[in-house]
Amino acid sequence: MRQILITGGAGFIGSHLTRTLLERGDAVSILDNLSTGRLENVDDFIGHERFSFAFDDIRNEQVLDRLASQAHVIVHLAAAVGVELVVERPAETIETNVLGTHLVLEAARRYRCRTLVASTSEVYGKGVRIPFDEEDDLLLGPSSRSRWCYAASKLLDEFLALATYREYELPVTIIRFFNTVGPGQTGRYGMVIPRFVGQALRGEPLTVYGSGMQSRCFCHVADTVEAVLAIIDASDSTAGQIYNVGSTNEISINALAQAVIERSDSASTIKRIPYNEAYGPGFEDMERRVPKVDKIRGAVGWTANRTLEEILDDVIDYERKRLRRPEQRHGR
Ligand code: NAD
């Protein structure tokens, strides 16, 4: 039995990962301040003999040290996440992502923990060479636009993780997650699928930001969890490496909105909102974001298998059940 510490374990990806690890017999401790995570994500595990939850900030060094001292593997997911949150609170984003990762890597070094660090497709910035390859040059927007502080902070995390691997031989792997979706993701911070599904189920217009011609590839969180498990289980050959993890099936946001309406049998319409109304003046979005996944396929045999229809059905089912609960009806 291995002890896995998941920072951000009460979040969307973290709670799905926790469930799968417990199911297969590992022990899981999570460290989460519930800033964007939810207690209901981990309700099922409370009382489980192989599960523990530290409700705290990753920047609490004492707590982090204690948890790392007991862990074989650290999966570092805790971060300021979501475009709206990042635009609203850029200083907090940078502090959480950069200082938080620094402290996690220091703790991992003290106890020689195998470590996985979550990065993001946002680091590809305004790149136009599709699909995005891990070795591509990266082109971020100017620092005067807060939106880019998320990508920049995650990129610094990558440099720090790779430097720690090279200088201290800590086995660290970086995962660049592309859009990951599925049941349990909150729509509060601008995540598009839960937002659309919530709007469709409430009969409200689905708000598409910009022209809706921008496209994304959506990966079911169950596929993402399989990628993380494959890397946890892989030999040290994945240490010091960066892997894209995402689906390669591309869909425009307009087509996505239409698919959500159809699969939820909704009477909702689609309403387009200019970016500057949604996020404030000067917001820049990426038109396309498609991962090249040859590297992770070659290393651990992983590819995303689940379809967009499966993703939407799972999210619609989850959100329907949530809406039926009286306390959820008014607060999203
Ligand atoms: P999430 O917001 O659900 O999870 C992040 C978790 O970290 C939350 O539970 C939050 O409460 C916790 N957290 C934030 N700051 C913290 C702090 N200072 N101390 C302790 N806990 C803190 O988001 P997610 O979608 O599960 O993302 C997990 C990771 O994957 C993040 O690092 C994110 O950048 C990365 N990622 C996710 C996606 C995606 O599409 N979901 C895409 C790219 C990258």
Catalytic-role residue among 111, 124, 150, 165: 150
3-state SS assignment for residue 4? strand
In a domain, 267, yes or no: no
Q: Whose CA is nearest to atom 18 of ligand 1?
A: 57
What is the whole-number distance in angstroms between the Cα of residue 268 and the centre of ligand 1? 30
Q: Whose CA is nearest to atom 44 of ligand 1?
A: 120
Confidence of residue 331 (pLDDT cuts 50, 70, 90): very low
pLDDT single digits (tens) 64-117: 999 999 999 999 999 998 777 888 889 999 999 999 999 999 999 999 999 999
Is the pLDDT at 189 greater than 80? The verdict is no
pLDDT single digits (tens) 33-73: 999 999 999 999 999 999 999 999 999 999 999 999 999 99
pLDDT at 108: 98
Burial of 103 (0-12, 13-18, 19+ CB in 10 A): buried
Q: Whose CA is nearest to atom 2 of ligand 1?
A: 36
DSSP string, 51-117: EEEEES-TT-HHHHHHHHHH-SEEEE-----SHHHHHH-HHHHHIIIIIHHHHHHHHHHHHT-EEEE
Residue 215 tokens, joined: 């496209």
**For residue 156, what is the domain's CATH number?**
3.40.50.720
Burial of 197 (0-12, 13-18, 19+ CB in 10 A): buried
Task: Please give the Cα distance from 288 to 293 (Å, whole number).
Answer: 16
Q: Side-chain half-sphere of 266: how many Cα atoms within 13 Å?
A: 24
Backbone angles phi, psi at 39, to 5 degrees: -60, -35
Q: Whose CA is nearest to atom 29 of ligand 1?
A: 77
Range of the domain at 143: 3-178+221-246+291-304
Residue 243 annotated in active site: no
The pairs formed by 96-101 with CB atoms below 8 angstroms and a separation of 24 or more are 96/58, 96/59, 97/150, 97/153, 97/154, 97/156, 97/157, 98/153, 98/156, 98/157, 98/160, 99/59, 100/7, 100/58, 100/59, 101/76, 101/156, 101/157, 101/160, 101/161
Name the nearest CA neighbour of 190 among 245, 251, 131, 253: 253
What is the whole-number distance in angstroms between the Cα of residue 278 and the centre of ligand 1? 22
In a domain, 315, yes or no: no
In a domain, 286, yes or no: no
Q: In degrees, to the nearest 5, what angle opens at C-alpha 7 toward C-alphas 2 and 8? A: 130
pLDDT at 190: 64
Task: Please give the Cα distance from 30 to 274 (Å, whole number).
Answer: 39
Of 57, 61, 81, the one to substitute when testing ligand 1's pocket (max ligand atoms within 8 A of C-beta) is 81
In a domain, 107, yes or no: yes
pLDDT single digits (tens) 232-274: 999 789 999 999 999 999 999 999 999 999 999 999 999 999 8
Residue 159 tokens, joined: 């440099």
Q: Which residue has the higher pLDDT, 201 or 236?
A: 201
pLDDT single digits (tens) 214-229: 999 999 999 999 999 9
The structure's pTM equals: 0.95
pLDDT at 214: 94
- In this structure, are residues 242 and 230 in contact, taking their beta carbons and an 8 Å threshold? no
- In this structure, are residues 295 and 231 in contact, taking their beta carbons and an 8 Å threshold? no
In a domain, 125, yes or no: yes
In a domain, 170, yes or no: yes
- In this structure, are residues 234 and 287 in contact, taking their beta carbons and an 8 Å threshold? no
Q: Which residue has the higher pLDDT, 189 or 98?
A: 98
Total of domains in the chain? 1
Determine the average pLDDT of the residues in 202-207.
96
In a domain, 54, yes or no: yes
**Contacts for 159 with CB less than 8 Å, ≥ 6 apart:** none
Determine the average pLDDT of the residues in 181-209.
90
In a domain, 93, yes or no: yes
